[in-house]
């Protein structure tokens, strides 16, 4: 491996490792700090929070970023070997990197598809790791000059060389110890039946800090009846918005728990705020083309509203206006969609107007007894907010 190729490979590995570490730190903050806003939350479509809050951000409860960091560390060590090892080993390094980067390329193609077409949001840190993998793939492919079928034999020989070097053994031990410790001790997320991450319960200090932050937020008066409920939760929603779907799935067990333990104490009111200029002219452009039709469909669903909402949230990647109308017909037996569309769309626009009066700019936006929450709280802190409001109602 030439020195120039090895330096380029090391640079790519270092960039990928830094981005993966930053992603893991961001993921950790999102788990434990409800006030945290990632620096890469730029817009509806460019948002680390949306990506890291999805079920695709973890594997066996461990953030994918951790596995990425370990992979880039391996690539970095190989690149160092390409700079410093004996000639026979340096000759093999591009082949090892090419095999690893080919495997990694298949992973990032899958993750990229999930990001762009399923979650409909991208993470700048993720894009940086994708670029680093592609860079390693290209440089290792160009630098490989040995037959790939000789790699197993070369690997056996190079491992013997590694075993004869005290420095190489020390580095290997440190690497495996660090990787094992990271995998073992980084906070794991359990998953619900729907596959959504379940974050660990907050500690007492975290609860105290959350209550301090939450109680300092201004309360907005709402002209929406709570109908006797102690906690009124108003959600401005877009059925094609991934974060809206994620919050629906992750909050569902929390709301079900309170409905079972304290029936009528917590009331959720859904308000429409589709990110579609056909029914929301405050937007510079349409983001979710089927959102207006979805909002109308839910309003026409009658007693089948829960089933239709579930279908919409779980079919966002393939949602289109025709598919929404067909689902309304098949699931909720809505046979007069076109006839009622215009009148129902007016009701959707009324919600949009209310949202604009309340300063809603993105979805989801929650008002918990008037406390405005832009985006979705982690579910454990959503429950803490409900507890706080119930306690406040007693005082």
Q: What are 291-337's pLDDT values in tens digits?
A: 999 999 999 999 999 999 999 998 988 899 999 999 999 999 999 99
3-class SS of residue 73 = helix
Residue 191 has pLDDT above 70, yes or no: no
394 vs 306, residue with greater confidence: 306
3-state helix, strand, coil split of the chain in percent (to 5) is 65, 10, 25
Which tokens sit at 139? 């440089």
Residue 46 has pLDDT above 90, yes or no: no
The residues pairing with 198 across neighbouring beta strands, listed in sequence order, are 190
Residue 279: exposure state from Cβ atoms within 10 A (0-12, 13-18, ≥19):
buried
Band of pLDDT at residue 40, cut at 50, 70 and 90: confident
3-class SS of residue 59 = strand
Predicted confidence at residue 187, as pLDDT, reads: 63
Q: Can you give the pTM of this predicted structure?
A: 0.67
Domains of the chain in sequence order? 3-191 (1.20.1440.130), 201-394 (3.40.30.10)
Tell me if 14 sits within 8 A of 155, measured CB to CB.
no
Distance CA 102, CA 148 (A): 13
Alpha carbon separation from 71 to 92, 180, 365, 373 (Å, rounded): 18, 13, 37, 37
Residue 348 has pLDDT above 70, yes or no: yes
Which tokens sit at 357? 């009066």
Contacts for 285 with CB less than 8 Å, ≥ 6 apart: 277
C-alpha closest to that of 231 among 32, 371, 343: 371
Residue 190 has pLDDT above 60, yes or no: no
Q: What are 216-257's pLDDT values in tens digits?
A: 999 999 989 999 999 999 999 999 988 898 889 889 999 999
């Amino acid at each position: 491996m030439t020195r120039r190729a090895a330096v380029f490979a090391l640079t790519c590995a270092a960039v990928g490792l830094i981005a993966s570490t930053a992603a893991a730190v961001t993921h950790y903050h999102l788990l434990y700090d409800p006030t945290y806003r990632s620096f890469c939350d730029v817009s509806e479509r460019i948002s680390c929070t949306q990506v890291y809050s999805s079920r695709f951000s973890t594997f066996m409860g461990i953030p994918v970023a951790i596995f990425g960091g370990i992979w880039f560390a391996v690539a970095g060590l190989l690149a160092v070997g390409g700079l410093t090892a004996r000639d026979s080993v340096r000759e093999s390094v591009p082949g090892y990197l090419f095999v690893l980067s080919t495997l990694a390329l298949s992973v990032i193609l899958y993750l990229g598809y999930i990001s762009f077409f399923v979650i409909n949001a991208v993470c700048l840190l993720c894009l940086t790791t994708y670029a680093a993998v592609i860079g390693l793939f290209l440089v290792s492919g160009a630098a490989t000059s040995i037959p790939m079928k000789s790699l197993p034999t070369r690997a056996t020989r190079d491992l013997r060389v590694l075993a004869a070097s005290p420095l190489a053994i020390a580095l290997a031990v440190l690497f495996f110890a660090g990787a094992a410790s990271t995998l073992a001790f980084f906070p794991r997320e359990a998953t619900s039946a729907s596959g959504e991450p379940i974050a660990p319960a907050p500690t007492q200090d975290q609860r105290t800090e959350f209550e301090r932050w939450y109680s300092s937020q201004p309360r907005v008066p709402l002209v929406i009846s709570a109908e006797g409920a102690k906690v009124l939760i108003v959600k401005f929603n877009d059925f094609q918005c991934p974060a809206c779907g994620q919050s629906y799935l992750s909050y569902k067990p929390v709301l079900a728990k309170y409905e079972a333990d304290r029936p009528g104490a917590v009331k959720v009111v859904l308000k429409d705020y589709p990110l579609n200029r056909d029914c929301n002219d405050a937007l510079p452009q349409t983001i979710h083309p089927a959102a207006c039709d979805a909002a109308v469909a839910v309003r026409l669903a009658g007693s089948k509203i829960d089933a239709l909402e579930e279908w919409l949230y779980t079919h966002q990647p393939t949602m289109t206006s025709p598919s929404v109308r067909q689902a309304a017909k098949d699931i909720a037996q809505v046979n007069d969609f076109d006839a009622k569309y215009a009148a129902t769309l007016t009701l959707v626009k009324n919600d949009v107007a209310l949202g604009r009066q309340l300063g809603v700019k993105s979805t989801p936006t929650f008002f918990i007894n008037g406390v405005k929450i832009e985006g979705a709280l982690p579910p454990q802190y959503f429950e803490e907010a409900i507890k706080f409001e119930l306690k406040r109602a007693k005082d």
